[in-house]
Structure 1
């Protein structure tokens, strides 16, 4: 059936080209007759006929090129289907050695066929393999099946579970092959492809120096198991959407000096653009030291940082919106030392700092008006909880407004030597005010006029009253 369709399409193309060639030849003959001598003198019809036939011959050559192109395209399409199918069958083989060979075969197909959709199809198969259900405890097993005998209402039932033999080796190979093709040193690069690792399980994730430049890069609900460090060091995420939403990191993760900077998009796609770690969980520590976040949105909303160490030291947050709203810092140390927040809006609203120590020392929170750029509209720490030691020493607060209203300050919270350069800064109605240190604590009259409330210190918010029955 497919051959019939291809032949019909080819016949239509040839007939169209022939008809077009005859039409062009006829028009050429008529034009030469009309404009080169029909009115001045009797034209030489033999010469005109020769010219017309020469044009027709040229058109015939074009027809031949069309036919050759169509044949070449059909041959290439058939070869792609053949080698792609063979590689896919290898990936589905029960034997681990055949599956590993299938990984390299599929990578070879992607390298050979540079057409975007064909390479993307190969990448989708490799990513799809990683998304298959996987039991890490059975990942290194040489068994292909396991039986279990159980009692069900007095009746013995035997259940047989099947496994992909030594699947850990295959999955590690896929991750390594993909990472190698995303590095600048790769002979053939897959950087422009989309990658969907949603729900994938990673036991060894080394993505250092990789470049993800496709429209979508998804690690949604991915799980990074304990063991080796998960590394995205010096990686670049340049696509429209990058998401680690719901991802779980059980190993220490490194995003040091990574760059998150998507390409420009229109207003219609603005809200769906950017990088998100929303609802992700970092259970064993994570570092984003020196990382850069640019574009429309950077979201760590409802993210849980439960590891020993969390560091955003010297990171640059230049996205229009940077959100740590309702984030939980519950490890030993969290540091934003030297970090810069330059976007239009920055929010830590309703976040919780339960770490032994947290530091925003020397951080730049908000940007002043600069040439061709606007100032930060709002930096919000509204209703944030600070329990333990938290330092904003030598930090600079700039922009239009900074909001600490409704905060729960209970511990050792320092704002010593901080510069409050924003137009309006509010510490109104805190839920608690214990252990908070400012340079003017001993002399409240020296408090800057742009900081409210006055008088100082702030009066606690009145507790909500129980509704009358």
Structure 2
């Protein structure tokens, strides 16, 4: 497999080598025989033959790729489900046979493009190709005919399975270096366990993951510059346990479109990122909604320079960041809302004391965050330059017992509500660490939160 790939991707280089070898061969013949003219002529002739043979092979390969690619794509567009499934495997075979990046990418783009086609899940298993509906329109009977692809669920499941198999380290032919665009795709079965996405762009923008089927990215590795699940909707339980997000560094002007982004994503069936690792320039869960029974980031490591859960909504039964580590320069939960029955940051490391080259964490912020219900920061460690809980809304059973406040400055100034909050120094406010403000304890409510004067 390696030799075949090298042969096809390095044909131009091989042709040049052949020319040089021909000339060298002529020189050797001249050196041994003294017949310089005949030797040089023989070398040049051999080089020309090699060059012509290279061009012939290149043109023949192009023609063969075009022929096979066109035939497979035609099968994929057939009305018969068996022919379309055969087309999936045929196109995968073309991608395997022609490993040049742009050719393989072309095959991958067609498979991903099929998944982005309009799809009606309720008709996914139908053996029909059309159905009619008779309706009344201003007193006139109108018959409308709807067409759709026969048994399309089988074809789509086959595409997802074939792609996932080619992304795993055990695959004989790996497609990991390709870009994958699943924007607006509908997934009924998404089993990407152990997959490696190493292309520049991996997009699940506005993808829909339906309920009742597997949604697993367990131990998947996302290594490209841009990884986005922006606006994705997960109706099933989604599993990202021990996944790795480690996109490469990007220029400042690309930061909005780069990074690892779950911005505006909705997790309606629960989600688990236990043991996941986030690296690179930025990790974003901004405005994400966690509405399932359980959302877990237990023992996850957030090592990107910037991590943002700003305006995220945690509205399920339980959310846990137990044992999670926030080690980047900045992590923000500003304006987020914790409305779950139970929220836990127990034993979490919020901020890094010392980071190689860049020093400690600059800020961990929970400004204007709403904590309702039972919330625990027990045994958590707050480090870095600043930990900011200013203007927070604390209402419920909220515990900071046994927490270590090691950051240079920690503020709880101006809360909008302060009900049911517990610290180790509640009985003796004068034992409160000096790096925590306000000095007078408990904090006074912000002016806007106080009762109006009679």
- The match for 1:44 is none
In structure 1, the partner of 2:173 is 188
Whole-angstrom CA distance in 1 between matches of 2:258 and 2:380: 30
1:147 corresponds to 2:124: no
Task: Give the whole-Å Cα distance in 2 for the aligned partners of 1:57 and 1:347.
Answer: 72
Taking the aligned partners of 1:371 and 1:158, their CA distance within structure 2 comes to: 70
Match of 1:108 in 2: 93
SS of residue in 1 equivalent to 2:328: coil
Alignment equivalent of 2:190, drawn from 202, 205, 210: 205
Larger Rg: 1
In structure 2, the residue matched to 1:35 is none
In structure 1, what is the equivalent of residue 233 of structure 2?
A: 248
> Which of the residues 131, 136, 149 maps onto 2:121?
136
Q: Distance in 1 between matches of 2:276 and 2:369?
A: 24
Greater mean deviation of Cα atoms: 148-157 or 84-93: 148-157
Match of 1:422 in 2: 407
C-alpha separation in 1, matches of 2:325 and 2:268: 25
- Does 1:237 pair with 2:222? yes
| Equivalent residue number for residue 444 of structure 1 | 429
Q: CA deviation at 1:312?
A: 0.2
TM-score by length of 1: 0.88
Match of 1:309 in 2: 294
The offset of 1:267, in angstroms, is: 4.9
Match of residue 3 from structure 2: none
Task: Name the counterpart of 1:397.
Answer: 382
Q: CA RMSD in A?
A: 2.1
Show the counterpart of 2:65: 80
In 2, the alpha carbon distance for the partners of 1:210 and 1:317 equals 21
Q: CA deviation at 1:272?
A: 3.5
Q: How much does 1:214 deviate? A: 0.7
Asked if residue 70 in structure 1 is aligned to residue 19 in structure 2, the reply is no
1:382 corresponding residue in structure 2 = 367
What is the CA deviation profile of residues 435-460 of structure 1, one whole-angstrom value per residue up to 9, with x for unaligned ones?
00011111111110000001111111
- Write the distance in 1 (CA, Å) between the matches of 2:164 and 2:297: 25
CA separation in 1, counterparts of 2:137 and 2:256?
A: 52
Measured after TM superposition, the shift of residue 268 of structure 1 is: 5.0
2:316 matched to which residue of 1? 331
> Partners in 1 of 2:214 and 2:63 — Cα distance?
43
- For the 8 Å contact 2:413–2:444, the answer to whether it is kept is yes
Instruction: Quote how far apart the aligned CAs of 1:415 are.
Output: 0.3
Q: 1:459 aligns with which of 424, 444, 452?
A: 444
Aligned counterpart, 1:300: 285
Report the CA distance between 1:167 and its aligned residue.
0.3
Aligned residues: 426
Output the CA distance in 1 between the equivalents of 2:234 and 2:383. Answer: 34
Q: Superposition pairs for residues 83-102 of structure 1, below 5 Å?
A: 83-102=68-87
Could you tell me which runs of 5 or more consecutive residues in structure 1 were left unpaired when the two chains were aligned.
1-12, 29-46
How far 1:202 moved relative to its partner? 0.4
Out of 262, 266, 281, the position equivalent to 2:266 is 281
Greater CA deviation, 268-277 or 183-192?
A: 268-277
Say if 2:417 and 2:449, in contact at 8 Å, map to a contact too. Answer: no
1:42 alignment partner in structure 2: none
Decide whether aligned partners of structure 1 residues 165 and 447 sit closer, same or farther in structure 2, where only a CA change above 3 A counts.
same
Q: Give the corresponding residue for 1:32.
A: none
Once the two structures are TM-superposed, the CA of residue 274 in structure 1 deviates from its matched residue by 1.5
Q: For the residues of structure 2 that align with 1:464 and 1:414, how far apart are their CA atoms?
A: 22
Instruction: For 1:295 and 1:428, locate their aligned partners in 2 and report how far apart those are by CA, in whole Å.
Output: 32
Say if 2:386 and 2:408, in contact at 8 Å, map to a contact too.
yes
Shift in Å, 1:263: 2.8
From the superposition, tell whether residues 280 and 112 of structure 1 become closer, same or farther in structure 2 (CA, over 3 Å). same
Tell me the distance in 1 between the aligned counterparts of 2:149 and 2:408.
63
Q: Which residue of 1 aligns with 2:276?
A: 291
TM-score (norm 2): 0.90
What is the deviation of 1:153? 1.3
After TM superposition, give the deviation of residue 253 of structure 1 in Å.
0.5
- Indicate the residue corresponding to 2:350 in structure 1: 365
Tell me if the contact between 2:188 and 2:214 (Cα under 8 Å) persists in the aligned partners.
Answer: no
* Cα separation, 2, equivalents of 1:397 and 1:141: 56
Superposition deviation, residue 185 in structure 1:
1.1
Structure 2 residue ranges without an equivalent (≥5):
1-11, 28-33
